[in-house]
A and B are shown apart, each in its own frame.
Chain A
């Protein structure tokens, strides 16, 4: 059974199905999307549980000739680098779809774009041919543009076009990099054309001499850096996050940002290992800036959602730290961090949405004493914040610890890595500080009389949030569920990179 094709195109099928829904049948549209995303999620988990963790080989491979005269094939497959994201994406999409039941305007279009987005995101993580990869990569832009621009907050138009232009800029430069890789792939008797095959390209790596490879790396890096986002390309993120509707923020933080880090691992690292090593120190420094700068800016925010948006910048910094380290622990940590950040920040955005739906404000200073009024909500929120700041026993701790210890023990340039890892620890302290200050201002103290009528969470909100909380705790106690998944592939990648451990 071509399960990866199925899982990628099921949401697309759902999107087309929704188009045929009669006008005014909003509930039909909602439930169709919920069912489609649920089925996709089930498929995702099915793949997750049948995935063989003891091999670095590609699994569930599907390959067919597509555009032979250009060496383009329809090539999908999974390995440890992509498995975790493949299960996270449909999972978060399902929860977000359920949360989106509160969308009242233009419901049909909303879910159409939402499902289109899901198809694009899943496609990015399973595609192993550059052409296919790039189509999916770009496919995520358009729905996102509309989801922010139509259903977003007060400055939605600005945020939407900024997001669109920024990411398009990144991706067209990346396209040049891809074409350069394509052009330098060898032509042999067996392969009469160049190839867009990512795996094939990674096998023939190193054919390009020095600066050539660095240039291509830089072009690809720009595309990924905008997505992650890496300082100084991060300015679209707070705007997009603040204006996007809740469920879209969740997808944005939970999945879209990871496309950048995944791209770094899957493409830059496997195809251009030389350049990756060359740029390890700059990447480390950028990671450090992301961590510390993100944390400081988050602390300065008055808007709850903006604070969490900047905390994403900060947390993606940990992920980059692990990636820059190029050690087994660091890379495994980075992949785990992608998952845990998706879960925790996803939950945080949902929770911010919950309070915003009730109070219609996100001003941290404007709340106070919510603990008395909304005990369940407050408990969940505080627990998630603790998870985000890396409290042991919750998911965030494990991955952050792995990223840090991986970076600390990196053999690329021991001293530099130790210094910057040490400095980055400061980011952890600041992160703890801003979360605790926020908790104090919002939940502690006397109840602001303005909020005396706030109801607690509803069933729909529980359905969206509780699974994330359960996972957060579960991964904190038994991280091996997720961390074991990438071990073999990371070993192979480290071998390819040729870094001594």
Chain B
């Protein structure tokens, strides 16, 4: 056993995890900067962190050239799949920090604390994307959850922020416990906690009913992270209460990381889909239907996006249910589309909040008259959320529908398309207030700050690009998925 302590192996691991190590150092740098910088230039810390994360993104790019190597006693894997999700997490972290720059409710003297938490939670999610050991998985999920509890409750003077944080915390703690319970089944049966060892056990012995039960219990933990029905109750309150940039971050990065571990755990442990898929399919159908139906009556834009985010998880699950290369590929593309679409929409929510001080969509009235171009851009984001071409949302939806049909889940695909009609209705409600409402609440043109315009226009570019020129993304996704699934099929 002493062999494992050889420093050379540790160094290799640290080298492979250079992005994570860098992000950790960045968190310390942020804390140091907080001490050094005077109060009036505290917002610079956000810039430092954002730049640092951009650099981490460049480092992460190296992951795409890895074939999938395990480090630290098989606890962490570095492969393009992890790299893909790390990049998504990093992009949303950068966008989130840029959004925070102009978010007024954040007090200047809290910025340092806030930024260091964001950087740390980013690190946690990056570790989640690469976790290949049940223990590592649990630790990284906990790391992320606890940090997020703090971030959600960051507006200490706001009752709603506190309420959201407490709900998030209670349900989060509960689901973590259930998750560990499920994981204990797996460890108990297989006598191992790393994915490769569990894999080996299954190849020889097969997955018994008890094993499947453990897996399904674990699903509760994942379901909580990605806000899947019926474990979604915390999401709307937490989203509404949290500072809007945190909401955006929570809805994109945390969900993405959850999807990453869900997909990796299932694909890694169960090479061929077993009986769990019907359960997953029913949950997918429930998730999108409940999310969309409840969204109809929401007037708070953050709550609305929370429910719409729940519905999107349903779509992602639909792709995942299909399993196989196509299924996971569709999950990747959908997640990518979701990242840019949601970030753009939240950037608008922040911009309008800064203008009007309200998150109520009824207060969007008159936006199209005051600034027609921006209103139309916002509308394109809404179209992408609804899945209308030529936007990324459409292409993502096309992919998951295709995957579902290919796997003969026709009923699920039908529910999926019917849901997109419901979805269109509540997104069109926002458009209704922007365009058709009689009494204008917004009378002056909306002015975007530089960080917000960067987020909005780069996201706009990406959502059009993903639909109109998706070839490169598809090639990347296929390669990624093949490397994810490949080793297990070979076993």
Q: B353 within 8 Å of A by Cβ?
A: no
B22 at the binding interface (Cβ < 8 Å): no
B408 to chain A: closest residue by CB:
A183
Assembled-state Cα–Cα distance A138/B417 (Å): 14
User: Is A175 a contact partner of B388 (Cβ separation < 8 A)?
Assistant: no
- Residues B406 and A175 in contact, CB atoms below 8 Å apart: no
Q: Considering only CB atoms, which chain A residue lies closest to B413 in the complex? A: A176
CB contact under 8 A between A168 and B405, given known A149-B435, A150-B435, A150-B436: no
Contact residues, B393-433 vs A (CB, 8 A) = 394, 398, 401-402, 405-406, 413-414, 417-418, 420-421, 424-425, 428, 431-432
For B379, list chain A residues within 8 Å (CB): 142
Q: List the B residue with the shortest CB-CB distance to A180.
A: B405
- CB B464 to nearest CB in A, in angstroms, measures 11
Q: A168-B421, A169-B421, A183-B405 are in contact. Are A138 and B436 (CB under 8 A)?
A: no
Q: Chain B nearest CB: distance from A383 CB in Å?
A: 38
How far is B425's CA from A145's CA once the two chains are assembled, in angstroms? 12
Partner of B388, one of A67, A141, A176: A141
Interfacial chain B residues near A175, Cβ < 8 Å = 398, 401, 417
A67 with B421, Cβ < 8 A, contacts A142-B388, A150-B436, A176-B414 known: no
Main secondary structure of the interface of B (DSSP, over half): helix
Interface of A is mostly: helix
Chain A hits for B280, CB < 8 A: none
State whether the Cβ of A501 lies closer than 8 Å to any Cβ in chain B.
Answer: no
Query: Residue A183 contacts which of B406, B418, B421, B471 (CB distance < 8 angstroms)?
Result: B406
In Å, the complex CA distance between A69 and B373 comes to 35
Q: How many residues from A make CB contacts under 8 Å with B?
A: 35
Chain B residues, CB < 8 A from A447: none
Residues of chain B within 8 A of A138, CB atoms compared: 388-390, 394
Query: Is B475's beta carbon under 8 Å from chain A?
Result: yes
Determine whether A179 belongs to the interface, using a CB cutoff of 8 Å to chain B.
yes
| With contact pairs A106-B369, A161-B425, A172-B421 given, residues A179 and B402 touching in the complex (Cβ less than 8 Å) | yes
- Beyond A67-B471, A176-B401, whether A134 also contacts B428 by CB under 8 A is no
Residues of B within 8 Å of A180, CB to CB, are 405
**A142-B383 in contact given A149-B436, A172-B420 (Cβ < 8 Å):** yes
> Are A172 and B436 interface neighbours, CB within 8 A?
no
Q: How far is the CA of A134 from the CA of B389 in the complex (A)?
A: 8
How distant is the Cα of A410 from the Cα of B470 in the complex, in angstroms?
Answer: 46
Q: A69-B478, A165-B425 are in contact. List 8 more A-B contacts (CB 8 A).
A: A66-B471, A67-B474, A138-B389, A149-B432, A156-B436, A157-B436, A161-B428, A161-B432
18 A-B pairs with C-beta separation under 8 A: A66-B471, A69-B478, A106-B372, A109-B372, A138-B389, A142-B379, A142-B383, A142-B388, A146-B435, A149-B436, A168-B420, A168-B421, A169-B421, A172-B420, A175-B401, A176-B401, A179-B405, A183-B402
Q: B interface vs A, CB < 8 Å?
A: 368-369, 372-373, 379, 383, 388-390, 394, 398, 401-402, 405-406, 413-414, 417-418, 420-421, 424-425, 428, 431-432, 435-436, 467, 470-471, 474-475, 478
